[in-house]
Amino acid sequence: MAEQTVVTQPGQAEAPAKAQQPRQLVRFTFYKLDAQWYLLPGETRQQGKQELLDIFADFERHSLIRSYGLYGLRSDC
């Protein structure tokens, strides 16, 4: 029978097992704003923005939503 030797360095204790983290679903969705949006009256655009914010508020109760804009960047970059 072969002998088995385990060598450990001083101060190297086995790390405790990490608690398993819940899995996350990540989804990216991209929308392009129609150029005609900017031709709408300011009041209509403001109403549309508020409707979008209300939709986000409904969904953020159940999901983590992060949004950002790429306004001013070229689409071929």
All structural domains of the chain with their residue ranges: 37-76
Query: pTM (2 decimals)?
Result: 0.52
Each residue of 17-63: pLDDT tens digit? 788 888 878 888 888 888 899 999 999 999 999 998 998 888 888 88
pLDDT of residue 72 exceeding 80, the answer is no
Alpha-carbon distances, residue 77 vs 32, 35, 42, 67, 72 (angstroms): 15, 19, 30, 19, 11
